[in-house]
């Protein structure tokens, strides 16, 4: 196997221009520049750069502007209070876990009495920070010298330096025996973008799972689109959504978890739906008065049948994750809609109906349709005070339009 998470620990920042630039950013002059750029408008960047270069080195100004842009992007994941104290790399912002998800994971560890974690492939330290804030001591390991320095700087910036030890090393050579748990976050991006084959992760999923099974407890972060057949029976698989968007999946190993089970967790509420074995295929039937759209985490975890059973409903099509019923059903795991119309797919017919009802605001949702929502809205030429939701889907295999409105 190729070396993963390898490092060149002998190289100093003086030998590495990127690390030298980062060191300059952390100097008093660099920190002053970053503070000045906190609220800068990217549209004014050229004028800002010209002004700052009159009193600061051009290379430092460029680095500070780049870091300011990264902090603005990171505020979505980390919140402004943390993001504007932290440091980032472009890959670090892209791949870091958002704070809400990392905090959920840390809370599960802490709730089981975990007090120390080896965080392998730590990146810029997002998960290490959440673990430390849960009172857990962390060994954070990454192969890239610059990334390791950024993680260390973030621990110090947030006052967590005493709980987080950052080490630039090869994760395959780390002795995890002294730790209560292991967390592995393999790199899932390469030079050509996202990596979909779990064995092409760095390190590969098979290595990460082996490392996880050696620990008393472990968590392995994976892409939410992972095929279920790639998940071993030793793991509890959890899909996590935040604000309705599926963010990631995590495999849990060891004492306190449920091997072979599947779980969907919704943040920020923390609502969790789980099953130890898949239910039989749910019934399929005609569209009723109500339509329910399951949260994406529920769909990814293959728990739609559980919701169908709970609401006493049925699917509109055996291949589509829309649930329908004749009675209202309320649950945090679904968004509910009252259905007023069911029509065969026809742009002309939809346009006439929307015009007749004076619909000026149209929400377009689709499953099993190739139509692009923006193109549909453009062709409808909407006008009027009303609003509606249209579902472009299949019902019993036929392209269908369902029109309705959100419940509540």
Split at pLDDT 50, 70, 90, the class of 152 is very high
> 199, 223 in Cβ contact below 8 A?
no
SS3 labels along the chain: CCCCCCCCCCCCHHHCHHHHHHHHHCCHHHHHHHHHCCCCCHHHHHHHHHHHCCCCCHHHHHHHHHHHHHHHHHHHHHCHHHHCCCCCCHHHHHHCCCHHHHHHHHHHHHHCCCCEEEEECCCCCHHHHHHHHCCCEEEEEECCHHHHHHHHHHHHHCCCCCCEEEEECCHHHCCCCCCCEEEECCECEECCEECCCHHHCECCHHHHHHHHHCCCEEEEEECCCCCHHHCCCCCEEEEEEECCEEEEEEEEEECCCCCCCEEEEEECCCEEEEECCCCCCCCECCCCCEEEEECHHHHHCCCHHHHHHHHCCEEEECCEEEEEECCCCCCCCEEEEEEEEEEECCHHHHHHHHHHCCEEEEEEEECCCCCCHHHHHHHHCCCCCEEEEEEEEEECCEEEEEEEEECC
119-131 per-position pLDDT tens digit: 999 999 999 999 9
pLDDT higher than 80, residue 1: no
375-391 per-position pLDDT tens digit: 999 999 999 999 999 99
Average pLDDT over the chain, rounded to an integer: 91
Mean pLDDT across 397-402? 96
pLDDT higher than 60, residue 6: no
Residue-level pLDDT at 13: 55
168-192 per-position pLDDT tens digit: 999 989 999 999 999 999 877 665 6
The C-alpha atoms of residue 76 and residue 94 are separated, in whole angstroms, by: 11
> 147, 123 in Cβ contact below 8 A?
yes
Give percent of the chain above pLDDT 70: 95
The pTM of the full predicted model, rounded to 2 decimals, is 0.89
Q: Which two tokens stand for residue 133?
A: 């804030």
Split at pLDDT 50, 70, 90, the class of 4 is very low
Split at pLDDT 50, 70, 90, the class of 10 is very low
241-295 per-position pLDDT tens digit: 999 999 999 999 999 999 999 999 999 999 999 998 878 899 999 999 999 999 9
Q: Which residues contact 165 (CB under 8 A, 6 or more apart)?
A: 137, 138, 139, 140
Mean pLDDT across 1-8? 36
Top-confidence residue, 4 or 142: 142
pLDDT higher than 50, residue 22: yes
């Amino acid at each position: 196997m190729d070396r993963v998470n390898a490092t060149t620990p002998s190289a100093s920042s003086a030998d590495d221009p990127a690390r030298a630039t980062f060191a300059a950013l952390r100097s008093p002059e660099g920190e002053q520049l970053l503070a000045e750029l906190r609220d800068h408008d990217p549209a004014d960047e050229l004028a800002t750069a010209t002004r700052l270069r009159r009193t600061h080195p051009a290379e430092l100004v460029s680095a500070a502007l780049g870091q300011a842009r990264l902090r603005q992007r990171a505020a979505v994941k980390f919140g402004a209070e943390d993001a504007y104290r932290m440091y980032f790399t472009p890959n670090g912002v892209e791949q870091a876990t958002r704070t809400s998800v990392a905090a959920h994971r840390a809370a599960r560890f802490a709730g089981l009495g975990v007090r120390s974690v080896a965080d392998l492939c730590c990146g810029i330290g997002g998960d290490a920070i959440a673990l430390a804030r849960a009172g857990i001591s962390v060994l954070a390991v990454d192969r890239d010298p610059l990334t390791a320095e950024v993680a260390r700087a973030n621990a110090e910036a947030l006052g967590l330096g005493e709980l987080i030890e950052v080490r630039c090393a090869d994760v395959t050579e780390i002795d995890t025996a002294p730790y209560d748990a292991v967390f592995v976050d393999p790199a899932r991006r390469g030079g050509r973008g996202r990596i979909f084959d779990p064995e092409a992760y760095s390190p590969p999923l098979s290595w990460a799972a082996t490392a996880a099974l050696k620990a008393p407890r472990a968590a392995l972060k994976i892409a939410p689109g992972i095929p279920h057949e790639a998940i071993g029976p030793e793991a509890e698989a959890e899909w996590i959504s935040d604000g309705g968007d599926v963010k990631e999946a995590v495999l849990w190993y060891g004492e306190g978890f449920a091997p072979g089970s599947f779980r969907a967790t919704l943040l920020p509420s923390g609502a969790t739906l789980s099953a130890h074995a898949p239910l039989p295929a749910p019934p399929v039937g005609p569209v009723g008065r109500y339509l329910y759209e399951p949260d994406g985490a529920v769909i990814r975890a293959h728990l739609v049948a559980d919701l169908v059973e709970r609401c006493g409903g049925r699917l509109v099509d055996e291949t589509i994750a829309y649930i329908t019923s004749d009675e209202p059903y309320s649950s945090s795991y679904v968004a509910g809609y009252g259905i007023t119309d069911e029509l065969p797919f026809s742009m002309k017919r939809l346009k006439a109906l929307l015009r007749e009802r004076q619909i000026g605001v149209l929400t377009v949702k689709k499953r099993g349709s190739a139509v692009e929502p923006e193109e549909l809205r453009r062709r409808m030429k909407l006008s009027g005070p009303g609003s509606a939701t249209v579902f472009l889907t299949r019902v019993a295999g036929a392209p269908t339009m369902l029109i309705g409105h959100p419940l509540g």
